[in-house]
Amino acid sequence: MFSMAIVRTPAKSLVDGITTAGLGKPDYDLALEQHRDYIRTLEACDLSVIILDADERYPDAQFVEDAALLLPRGAIFTRPGAESRRGEVAAVRSVLDDFYDQIDTVKAPGSADAGDIMVVGDHCYIGLSERTNHEGASQIISALESHGYTGSTLSISEALHLKSSVSYLENNRLVVSGELCDAVEFSGFDQIRLDQSERYAANCVWINDRVLVARGYPKSIEKIGATGLEIIELDVSEFCKLDGGLSCLSLRF
Ligand code: GLY
């Protein structure tokens, strides 16, 4: 169960965030409204939410999840794969020093976005992507092992991050889409396979037996709802335009 979350207010510069989506520029006011809704939802899921200030230098900083991997026995700060995002980590770290004694940091030439890391119990699956390289993953696995966890890698190519295509809903349940439907690493899970046309919905978030799912994906809602978990639909259209999703918008711990 989680009790805390960290989010970061989007800066006006979010309109210049990195994107491959081809969906146009996000509307800042609408993004802020969606972000406020997101915070209210985290609170409704019984989380205390720490809200970091916007920083105009970092158009992608609302995607706080990429800056750190937070586990019960330690925190690992990343070195984001996109150079424009590296400075985002400091603000996240400044609030977490109070919560963690055991802290590790990915160092050059390693790079990693924590959107590429899916936690399943004591094991972390790490996607090797355009953002997360072998060296970054290897440093993370060493840090995990020092805290009594394990890690393994798999290569991804279709989406920005591992968790763009797969989410763990606890109790061996995995929402999966695209290239990861056939990944041998995930063959032992109870898979909820999403249609290709709704693959964006694969980035959903388990929080204390509720699941946050992006609005606008009815077939996925039905499939995920069949688990019996309470579904909360949220509109994240403006973050989708920046290749971001529900999980990237917070760090839960
Ligand atoms: N726009 C989010 C990212 O590319 O990291």
Q: Which CATH architecture has domain 4-252?
A: 5-stranded Propeller (3.75)
Question: Which pLDDT score, from 0 to 100, does residue 229 have?
Answer: 97
Cβ–ligand 1 contact at 242 (below 6 Å): yes
- DSSP symbol at 249: G
Asked if 135 contacts 110 with a C-beta cutoff of 8 angstroms, the reply is yes
Residue 19 confidence (pLDDT): 98
Active site residues per annotation:
161, 248
Q: What pTM was computed for the model?
A: 0.97
Predicted confidence at residue 97, as pLDDT, reads 87
**242 CA distance to ligand 1 middle (Å):** 6
Query: Where on the phi/psi map is residue 16: left (φ > 0), alpha (ψ -120 to 50), or beta?
Result: alpha
CA of 194 to the centre of ligand 1 (A): 23
Q: Ligand 1 pocket: which of 78, 111, 160, 239 to mutate (most atoms <8 Å of CB)? A: 160
* pLDDT averages per 10-residue partition of the chain, 253 residues: 98 98 97 98 98 98 98 97 98 94 96 98 98 98 97 97 98 97 97 98 97 98 97 98 98 98
Q: Is the CB of 104 under 6 A from ligand 1?
A: no
Which numbered atom of ligand 1 lies nearest the CA of 20?
Answer: 4
Q: What is the DSSP string of 51-74?
A: EEPP-TT-TTTT-GGGGEEEETTE
Q: What is the pLDDT of residue 11?
A: 98
Q: How many CB atoms within 10 Å of residue 143? A: 22
